[in-house]
Structure 1
Amino acid sequence: MSLDFQMMREAMVESQLRTTGVDDMRVIRAMATVPREDFVPEERRRVAYAEMAVPLGEGRRMNLPMATGRMLAELGLRDDDHVLVIGAATGYSAAICARIAKSVVALEEDAGLAARARELLAGTDTIEVVEGPLDQGWSDGAPYDAILIDGMVETIPEAVTEQLADGGRLTAAVLENGVSRLFFGRREGGAFGAASFADSLASTLPGFEQPKAFTF
């Protein structure tokens, strides 16, 4: 039986985005258009739009649609923005950002996922896929008007926030006291501040572990 992915996208928009506070119509239109099923392994296509973090291989998972949607809506992308997507994986979130912003740098540290992202995004000349440690960001493309850390981290490194332009915005899911919370931050006058705006499950990104305190 063939699957109706367009119907699945519409159901995702209605049940996972509109009902959870995703009210930016640019984000909704982009997520209703970008074929999420193309960015997951063939054997996972039937669950591409499920309310879950879809396995991509190598221990990585695609972030939940609601988490990505909420973070992008809060980020408030504009058509002249230069954006960094950290944890780009196979490129799904970068493809969404590219439908709104002027240019996108998609950072991924797993070589296999980055290769797949380049393949899938080859026809979009406003996206550059780069490889490197996620927790270091991508200084070669800085400064950025907006940074999306598309997954859950334990800490937001200063190395990343320093790559924001003055007035630049950042969203991420942060593990706080055992709870995954969505955070919005802004860099102003050389300082960065952030606060949570929602609780949400999100897929874990590697390399952002909080240093463990020494105990006797």
Structure 2
Amino acid sequence: MSTIDYAKAREVMVEQQIRPWDVLDPRVLDVLASVPRERFVPAALRNLAYTDIALPLGHGESMMKPVVEGRALQALELAPGDDVLEIGTGSGFLAACLGQLAREVVSIERRADLADTARANLAAQGVGNVNVITADAFSWENSRRFAAICVTGAVATIPARFVEWLQPDGRMFIVRGRSPAMEAVLVRNASGSPRIESVFETDLPYLAGAAPAPTFEL
């Protein structure tokens, strides 16, 4: 049985998938070239860790494609002193990347088993500045404000409560719309008034509770 050279696979992913998709921020590229994605992928899928596909995590949830993760990290323009909120921990991989780019990460995951696995994955990699909380984003009691928010599942419309968690100069990466024509956007809370910038088109599974109401066609 052949053994995959994960370091080489990581380098190829960055150079052949992520950089050609206009991810050019050197800090983001360095993080994606150094965080071992294979350690966050379910064991049975480890050989697919660096492929250009979303990987299932159970419960209908998945890890985003590496290119989408790269674009999200770049769009947030994180500074080393930023505090970040991640909505949807999943495997913990993106939280680990956010943790390298920012001061502290609070990551919420509604599935207790996914949260437990993410905590174990992060601990195994020595990531000490990510706090994974088991909670539902739509009922989570939070009074804290963050410099940046990264939402890893799609929404039909941007929830007002997410925007309220931004600092006055904060920004949020989120994917909105109806599948399959969704739009990744950056919400800037400039002077306390949200401004939305389109980043790219994509298609993600919805956050639980954030799907559009079903429409009935005759």
TM-score, length-scaled by structure 2 = 0.91
Aligned to 2:136: 133
Distance 2:60 2:148 in 1: 27
Quick check: 55-64 or 75-84, which moved more?
A: 55-64
TM-score, length-scaled by structure 1 = 0.92
On the 8 A contact 1:67/1:202 being kept in 2, the answer is no
- Greater relative CO, 1 or 2 (CA 8 Å, sep 6+): 1
On the 8 A contact 1:53/1:203 being kept in 2, the answer is no
After superposition, where does 1:1-216 map in structure 2 within 5 Å? 1-122=2-123, 123-136=126-139, 139-140=142-143, 142-176=144-178, 178-211=180-213
Q: Which amino acid aligns with 2:104?
A: S
Aligned residue-pair number: 215
Q: Secondary structure at the match of 2:9?
A: helix
Distance 1:61 1:51 in 2: 13
Q: Which amino acid aligns with 1:131?
A: T
Distance 1:12 1:98 in 2: 20
On the 8 A contact 1:134/1:207 being kept in 2, the answer is no
* Cα offsets for 1:38-89 (capped at 9, x unmatched): 1111110011111111011122110111111111101100000000111111
Distance 2:180 2:136 in 1: 24
On the 8 A contact 1:86/1:107 being kept in 2, the answer is yes
Percent identical among aligned pairs is 34
Distance 1:36 1:15 in 2: 16
Distance 1:74 1:127 in 2: 20
How far 1:120 moved relative to its partner?
1.4
On the 8 A contact 1:151/1:202 being kept in 2, the answer is yes
Distance 1:149 1:35 in 2: 21
Q: Which amino acid aligns with 1:164?
A: L
How far 1:138 moved relative to its partner?
6.2
On the 8 A contact 2:87/2:109 being kept in 1, the answer is yes
Gaps of 5+ in 1: none
Distance 1:203 1:176, change over 3 A: closer
Gaps of 5+ in 2: none
On the 8 A contact 2:188/2:195 being kept in 1, the answer is yes
Q: Secondary structure at the match of 1:105?
A: strand
* Cα offsets for 1:65-120 (capped at 9, x unmatched): 11111111011000000001111112100100111100001111111110011111
Distance 1:214 1:203 in 2: 20
Distance 1:6 1:138 in 2: 40
Distance 1:175 1:115 in 2: 30
Quick check: 56-65 or 191-200, which moved more?
A: 191-200
